[in-house]
C-alpha cells in the first residue's frame, strides 16, 4: 500500500511501476488486453510464479490492473488494465524508445527484440 511521504511525483510513479517485472507485464497487457496467469508465464519465460503473483497483486492493489476470477475448476483468472494502467502506456513507450537508443549507443544486449 502507498503511504510513505514521497519527495516528488516522480518518486510516486517510480514506486508503482518500478518493480523488476512490472513494465514487461504492463506491456504485454497493453498488447493483449486480457491475459491469464499461465499465458503470462509463457510470455515471460524467466519470471517465476511467485514474482508474477507478487507483481500482479501489487499492481492490483495500486489500481493499475484488474483481476477477474472465474469460479471454476481448474481455476481461471483474467488480468487486464484499469484506466490508470492504460494511462501508463506512453511512459512505457518512451522508456523503451530511450532504452533502445541507449542500448544501441552503449552496445548493451537486451533479450527482447520486439518493438
Query: Residues in the site for a second copy, rule: CB under 8 A?
Result: 2, 5-14, 16, 18, 20-21, 23-24, 27, 44, 46, 63, 84, 87-88, 90-92, 94-103, 105-106, 108-112, 115
Q: x/- site string to DNA, residues 69 to 98, per CB under 7 A?
A: ----xxxxx---------------------
Q: Which does 75 bind (CB under 5 to 8 A by kind): DNA, a second copy, none?
A: DNA
- In contact, 98 and 91? CB cutoff 8 Å: no
From the list 26-34, 47-55, 88-96, 104-112, the region that binds DNA by CB under 7 A is 47-55
Bridge partners for 80 per DSSP:
34, 66
Separation CA 14–CA 20 (nearest Å):
11
Cell 513494465 belongs to 23
Amino acid at each position: 500500500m502507498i503511504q510513505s511521504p514521497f519527495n516528488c511525483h516522480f518518486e510516486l510513479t517510480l514506486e508503482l511501476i518500478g518493480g523488476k517485472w512490472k513494465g514487461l507485464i504492463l506491456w504485454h497487457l497493453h498488447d493483449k488486453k486480457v491475459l491469464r496467469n499461465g499465458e503470462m508465464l509463457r510470455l515471460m519465460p524467466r519470471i517465476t510464479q511467485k514474482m508474477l503473483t507478487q507483481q500482479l497483486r501489487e499492481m492490483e492493489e495500486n489500481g493499475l490492473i484488474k483481476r477477474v476470477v472465474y469460479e471454476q475448476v481448474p481455476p481461471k483468472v483474467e488480468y487486464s488494465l484499469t484506466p490508470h494502467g492504460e494511462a501508463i502506456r506512453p511512459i512505457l513507450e518512451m522508456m523503451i524508445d530511450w532504452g533502445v537508443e541507449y542500448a544501441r549507443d552503449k552496445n548493451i544486449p537486451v533479450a527482447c527484440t520486439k518493438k
